[in-house]
Structure 1
Amino acid sequence: MPRVVLVPSSLSHSHSSSAVSSTAPLPPAAAQMPPKVVAVAAGEAHTLALSGDGEVYSWGRGMFGRLGTGREADEHVPTAVAGGGSPRPRFVAVAAGAYHSLALDDEGSLWSWGYNIYGQLGYGEENSPFPCLVERFQDLGSPETLQAEAQNSGTQSSLKLSSVKAGGMMSFAIDTLGAMWMWGNCPQQTDAGEFCIAASSVPLPVWDFHGHTVVKVACGNEHVVAAVSAGETYTGCDLVCYAWGNNNHGQLGLGDKESRSRPVLISGFGEGSSWDVYEIACGAWHTAVLTNKKSFDVDLESRCWTFGLGDNGQLGHGTTATICSPQPVDGLPTGSFLISLDCGLFHTTVVSSDGEVWCWGMERGLGLCPDASFSGVDSGDALRPIRVQSPETNGFKFLGPVQVTCGAAHTVLVAGDGYRMWAWGRGRSGVLGRNQTADSYIPCVVMWPPLDENFQEIREDRAQASTSGVNDQNSAELEQKLSAASEELQFLRSKLTLMERYANILHISIFRKPLDERTLPRSLQESPVFDIRKEFENILDTADTDELNRLEIFYRSMLSGVKDKLLKRRVQEMVQECIVSLSAGRQTP
């Protein structure tokens, strides 16, 4: 059966330079909120972002077609994944392996692209630079009915998927009935019952979880961790953890280094545990788990547990020791909930509900390899969690945190409730999405929202000209336009970032809370004039007693500082006047 391929519209027709220059301005209706990022995923050196309108954007290294743009060129800014089918799929989930990508559409169908030497795309062995439909799932029913259907010739409905995950050279999917499937270079069992890693381009069901619901799955280079319902269905707080695969560093959390070909329950996260599992992540050879204390108290107590390889401090326990059983990470915030977790090759990152981001592992928790490292007193691996400073608030809290994802040597944070992304780490191939290739040791703004259609047309025309060998005046003009547009866009976005930072600091100084565009005063939304006195009076009217007391202390301290400064200045003036007077007196005969 032939594969369905999404062909990019940029390859179905050509754009002339006159068409680019004569494009009419966008109508006022287009001046709306930018697309919201609802999910991100990172591979070895590429990142995927899913917007709320169902589009997938990618950037970073393009080798093997992992970006899904129809070519292998690097992309230094978020670029729309190729598409043009009719109707165009509306994607609802994304996942990234080392060199391949997956996306799930709203009809429960799976699309994949990129590197495919081990069959991790779910079809054949050839790489694909375009999203292709994984038709194997179209031919399958649920695992519960596979055996029965194999005995009769009746037709069966296609399998619908609810989530996808990728890691290393393997891929996973969970169907709408809670069954789990795997393909690519996966842990398997030989006919003799021994552990092995074997390639398969055909999705294989994981029968061990029959009668339970698989809710989450994470995978490293050669190991897998799954969060599964203790009972038949998931009730929201009854997940237990299973692990299998390569265990040469204790990354399965089973207390030893023996590899497993079938899922084994991690005793620390079984039914008898006092902790509820709600998030899991795998690095190359280590694993991290977020749990919540089982308690009837209103306050939630979340903890991060790690195990496996610790050579670069990626476990966060203060040592480089390898640990074979789950151990909690000390030094993380206890007064807020940990909402997101991910692992790179040799680093780990968590995000709290109040916007604090913590990293640990290789090269100060950035994941940077030694060829792109710090120097001086800050050099070396972070053996314990380090807070990442936010350029936005000039402190340690990001506004509106959503999700974090880690690549091999970079990290991407979705903040601003989905309207802003920050990235840091190794920048080669444009993996930080800021139109540069330099490394960044601090969070920098990803160029989001995506480039408009005019700018994308220029980029596509340049790509077509380079692939077709065109080297004439038109190609030179396109290159010049692209360079000029890119520089202008980068300049404007850097200015916007600076102004937003200034506005937020100013807003905190006046109103004692961060700036949030969702709660902007109506007077500012409907008028160019902002009456600070009136808005401050409104805040006083709605503030409780504790807030009023804090405001009084804050402004009394400010007033005291002003009075003290005025007094010092007056004393200086009096001393100066006295000196002048004495000097004049001595000169008098």
Structure 2
Amino acid sequence: MSDANPKRMTPTPRCAQKMRLTALLAVSLWALGAGASPPEKAAHPARARNVLVTDSTSSMVLDRDGAVWIWGTGRGSEHGTWPDKQVLSATPRRMEGLTGAISLARGPFGGHALALLEDGTVLSWGSNTSGQLGDGTRTPRPTRERVVGLSNVVSIAAGASYSLAVREDGTLWGWGSNAYGTLGDGTRTRRLTPIQVPGLTQVVAAAASQTHSLALREDGTVWAWGINSYGQLGNGTTNESLVPLRVQGLTNVVAVAASPGTSYALRGDGTVWAWGGNSADQLGAGPPANGGLVPGPVPGLSQVVSLAASSHVLALRRDGTVWAWGSNRRGELGRGMTSESGAAQPVPGLHGVTAIAAAYGHSLALRRNGTLWGWGDNGDSTLGTGTGRRSLPGLAVGLGQVRELTSNMIHVLAVREDGTVWTWGNVNRLSPGQPYVAAAARIEGLSGVVSASAGPEHSLAVREDGTVWAWGDNFSGQLGDGTLVSKPSPVPVQGLTGIVAVAAGSTHSLALRADGTVWGWGSNWAGQSSGEPSEDNAMTPTQVQGLSGVVSIRTGMDLSVAVRGDGSVWYWGLSEDSVEEPQLQQVPGLTDITTVAVSRFGIAAVRSDGTVWQWRVTDRQTGTPPQQVAGVTDAVDTAYSFNTLQILRSNGTVWNLGENFSGERGFPSEQLTPPGPSWVPGLTGVVSLSSGPFSQTVLALRGNGTVASWGSNAAGLLGSGVSPLHLEPARVLLPCRLKVSGAEHEAPGGLWHCASEH
């Protein structure tokens, strides 16, 4: 000690500031949707971990040895698990072959992900539509690979289709989409490999969002660039900037976070400052005095060490409690209800937390005892609680004597023998703040119903007197009552009598009269209501000209289909990939058809001989005839879900083909596309099928009047009585604990390891 150089023992002011920032950065969040453990001691930024990240489709957490655990919904080729796991698990599973990771980042909308390795290089995987993987291409890639030409990285951030990385020398690099100027190079030019953000030095952290980016320099100042529609750049204007500009009035900042339209900064005194959009009280209680154009403090917060930001915000305090504010439509604030928040408040019953993560509709927290907890919406299994899907058929509870079943991606309708209608799913869309209905509930005021149709935005029902009743969204006139006012309860459709069947599309409606004519109303931009395109909505029913002798009708989103009594199939409107002028046309090559199902792209048709045929609307341009589904000769019904074709055979069993990442095949499988058609095990006595072009849930009506369901439980569509909404923190089903090394009381900055449960 006597030989020590006293000059080296006394840091310069700049060095002291850098040491202080480094220590504080080690306890703070650096990227959207990420969580970092708050150590008690200073650490080099390269060792400050984003150990917990989440987005709209998946979540990840780091283990002590640099391994990554992942769960959610999607293809393994899009989530870095290919080829070992072709589909994501609904509960956490280890990513094979990935070790040495020290930090994670995910884009806000499930596009791509990054992992910072201990050697300073970065792995990327997921979508590459804009070059956000940094491999010099825009080619889809199913495996994890290193970002080209990037080394000595200490921090990473993933935005919507672009990526940012801070290097050890304090430079900031970006790649991917630059349509909004988020790469900060003064252009809107897409970059397929990393480029340096000019004019920025001594950067220690960055945050990436949808349309803007933030950088934190070691002097505690914050710089912003990109779109500025809500004032998220914090420069007192709403003018965009393609190059970094200093955020006004901010000093002593130790961490930054960004969500779409809003920015956040954590200062060294433990206070949180926010600016930009405030549509869901993201800036705190009440309207900001400065209009959100420059930073202001979030009231009621102190001693904060970490942030996680989405449409809601989480703040981790030094005492291990979590405070939340912002949007709460899906219970993401963890307060046991779904009302909006106002001021920041603690998440009840949650303590000892060391890392947090937030994405649209849900939240995650890692506790010091090594357990993970989640709250909000688990419809895509991002919370890992096991409530997000069911791979084997199970019964919808509290329901019997059903004679007709109809569903879509939002809700289900069941018509019972007594003429009442029952529903479950997101049935309270017009009443914000109401939770999903996970078990069948009767629709009051509706009786004598003989048929119904559930669309994604509205519902239709035919009563035994031949009248039609409608309820739900009405912004295109799809309720047919002559107004554009949405209705939470059924109202009569004007001018319709003698109706025997209905079909609800995305924003249009169809009705079949007993005389074989078809009537349509609602949105008509693609001719989906009338057969002739028009810029004007059809506010009341009009007859589809040139169509008669119809025996059944179906709709996709904006595609309408009819089967005539002679077995021919006709369509009008547009499929998702249509390019032709929409008009009433016959499907070529289909004859003797008894029933059809409509997908996003075309139809499946059952012939009287029991064979099933598929045809896409775009096949007309190529001259491709309908294609027969091999191995099926006794079909009686069919239905499309988002990823599968379901086929009901004459013996009452269900067979299917397609992808299985949401459990739509009705059996567990780690294969993305199991061979098919395959049998749904244990399911017999089925008389009809129901799903929807954008639904990942399949329902089957059995001859005894009960309903079986499998696949996604988004919005509670399984009707199992188990809601995917967790209004309070629920435990994530990790097969082990992520524990602090050593004693239970060791400081939160210790390394995590996965140990067996006791």
TM-score by length of 2: 0.39
TM-score by length of 1: 0.50
Relative CO higher for 1 or 2, CA cutoff 8 Å, sep ≥ 6? 2
In terms of fraction of residues, the more helix-rich structure is 1
In terms of fraction of residues, the more strand-rich structure is 2
